[in-house]
Amino acid sequence: MLGFNARHDRAESWVRQHVGDLIEAIVADQKDAVRGFIEAGLQDGTGPQTLARQITGTMNRATGLREGGILGLTSMQTDYVIRARHELNDPARMAHYFTRQRRDRRFDKIVRDAMAAGKPVAAADIDRIANRYKDRLLALRGENIARTEAITALRAGRHEGYLQLVDSGKVAESTIIRTWRAGRDGRTRFDHVILDKTEIRGLNTPFIAADGSRMSFPGDSSLGAMAHNTINCRCNLDYQIDRRRL
Please tell me which residue, 38 or 71, carries the higher pLDDT value. 38
Confidence band of 122 (pLDDT split at 50, 70, 90): very high
Q: Cα–Cα distance between 228 and 240 in angstroms, integer?
A: 28
Between residues 34 and 160, the one the model is more confident about: 160
Q: Can you tell me the distance from the alpha carbon of 93 to that of 99, in angstroms, rounded to the nearest whole number?
A: 11
Neighbours of 183 (CB within 10 A): 15
- Residue 54 to residue 129: CA distance in whole angstroms: 12
Mean pLDDT of the region 210-239: 89
Burial of 81 (0-12, 13-18, 19+ CB in 10 A): buried
Encode pLDDT of 77-100 as tens digits: 888 998 999 999 999 999 999 999
CA 191 to chain CA centroid, nearest Å: 17
Q: What angle do CA 9, 11, 12 make, to 5 degrees?
A: 65
pLDDT at 200: 96
DSSP code, position 46: -
The residues facing 238 across adjacent strands are 179
DSSP 121-173: PPHHHHHHHHHHHHHHHHHHHHHHHHHHHHHHHHHHHHHHHHHHHHHTTSS-G
pLDDT for residue 140: 84
DSSP state of 8: S
Percent of the chain with pLDDT over 70: 75
pLDDT at 55: 66
Per-residue model confidence as pLDDT tens digits over 36-46: 767 777 677 77
CB < 8 Å & 24+ apart, contacts of 137-142: 137/73, 137/77, 137/80, 137/81, 137/102, 138/72, 138/73, 138/77, 140/77, 140/102, 141/72, 141/73, 141/74, 141/77
229: Cβ contacts below 8 Å, ≥ 6 apart: 189, 191, 192, 209, 211, 213, 215
Tell me what the mean pLDDT of segment 103-126 comes to: 96
Maximum pairwise Cα distance, the chain: 77
For position 226, what pLDDT does the model report? 83
Q: Is the pLDDT of residue 59 over 70?
A: no
Interior CA angle at 87 toward 84 and 38, to 5°? 55
| Chain mean pLDDT for the chain | 82
